[in-house]
Amino acid sequence: MSQQGVQTKYMRRALALAKKGLTTTMPNPRVGCVIVNENEIVGEGFHRYSGGQHAEIAALEKAGEKAYGSTVYITLEPCNFEGKTGACSLRLLEAGVKRIVVAMKDPNPRVNGKSLKEFENSGIEVNFGVLEGEARELNLGFTKRMETGLPWLRVKVASSIDGFTALRSGNSKWITGARARRDGHIWRARSCAVLTGVGTLMSDNPLLNVRAIKTDRQPVKVLVDPFHRTDFSLDFFKASKVIIASLKKNDSSSIYNSKFSNIELLEFNPKMEDPEKFSLRSLMLELGNREFNEVQVEAGFRLTSEFFSEGLIDEFIVYISPRFLVDGLGFLGASVKAGVLSDKPGWKIKEAKLIGGDLRVILRPVLKFT
């Protein structure tokens, strides 16, 4: 096997390990590590949760003395500073590894190439960029937050084949089948937060938690409710951390803080051009500041359209059911400015896959963060 083939083989194993932390590492990145000596894997590990062992340390402990003179395959550049754990770059140097193969640089400005330079200065051979695209895909939210301050914003939509997400009455249960709904829970589970609007909450009474798959962690719920229309008796608020984003009022904060220990109110100034709305970008910046990597929006067409108009959407996950509603509501509304076809922002289909009897289409902007 060629050197490139060998590097690809072991990096794929490291990526597979990293995916084991898909729903648990937040706000940290998902990282996998494989240590190879004389064509044999002598140690491997992955990052399980924030504050726990980093992938490199877990792999080094399994390798023991066999780490000396080895080649280490890591999906993300090792950290070079002490946070909740020690610096991984120092541990690798102390172990006497001979060669380090890294998929992508750490976008964290505190690292971002510094560890790789440290290895090279210490005489360790460094190879960078093996399966970089796959590694970046695994940590889109972490990478975007580090580079822009914003989380990765994913909008999940269930649609009929003729493009409607609900009947005119607002009823949308259930357009897609059970397997597609379960798949939606998988995407929820990897998100730091699930966001909806007060209109959807009041009409559908959704739980918006992860139920269809086993998980040790529930995403935070974020509710956009500018005028405090919320009904707190809904199950949405039970046994869960909830952030409510509203327009700024003088007397509302103390009410939430005194009555509901699991609810936090965030208040934003109204837009100058529309005093009945606040900037959703400001909300996203606040969530990014709180180390939210991925946010999944499951909302009606009005709120989705606002995110679309502000240019905040990184990805649509659209489940298309092979049924016709003939009439109903779409997932974008009239607030999105009309124009000729050539003026529309370009989107690309990243993936199309059958999930049970429904088609899942992943869409991303052509000119965007990725």
Q: Helix/strand/coil (H, E, C) string of 101-140? A: EEEECCCCCCCCCHHHHHHHHCCCEEEECCCHHHHHHHCH
Identify the pLDDT of residue 147. Answer: 95
Identify the pLDDT of residue 282. Answer: 97
Instruction: Look up the pTM and report it.
Output: 0.90
The pLDDT profile of the chain, 370 residues, written as one tens digit per residue, is: 888 888 999 999 999 999 999 999 999 999 999 999 999 999 999 999 888 889 999 999 999 999 999 999 999 999 887 666 678 888 999 999 999 999 999 999 888 888 999 989 999 999 999 999 999 999 999 999 999 999 999 999 998 888 787 656 555 567 899 999 999 999 999 999 999 999 889 888 889 999 989 888 999 999 999 998 888 889 899 878 999 999 987 665 555 555 677 899 999 999 988 888 999 999 999 999 999 999 999 998 899 999 999 999 999 999 999 988 777 677 776 566 655 445 556 899 999 999 999 999 999 998 765 5
Cβ within 8 Å of residue 297, ≥6 positions away: 153, 154, 155, 156, 194, 195, 196, 303, 304, 307, 313
The helix (H) or strand (E) run that includes residue 1 is none
Marked catalytic residue, from 44, 56, 298, 306: 56
Identify the pLDDT of residue 162. Answer: 84
Identify the pLDDT of residue 165. Answer: 75
Cβ within 8 Å of residue 121, ≥6 positions away: none
Coil, helix or strand at residue 241:
coil
The helix (H) or strand (E) run that includes residue 296 is strand 294-297
Q: Identify whether 56 is a catalytic site residue.
A: yes
Identify the pLDDT of residue 84. Answer: 63
Identify the pLDDT of residue 170. Answer: 56
100 bridge partner residues: 72, 126
Complete DSSP assignment for 42-107: EEEEE--STTS--HHHHHHHHHGGGGTT-EEEEEEPPP-S-SSS--HHHHHHHHT-SEEEEEE---
How many whole angstroms separate alpha carbon 108 and alpha carbon 146? 6
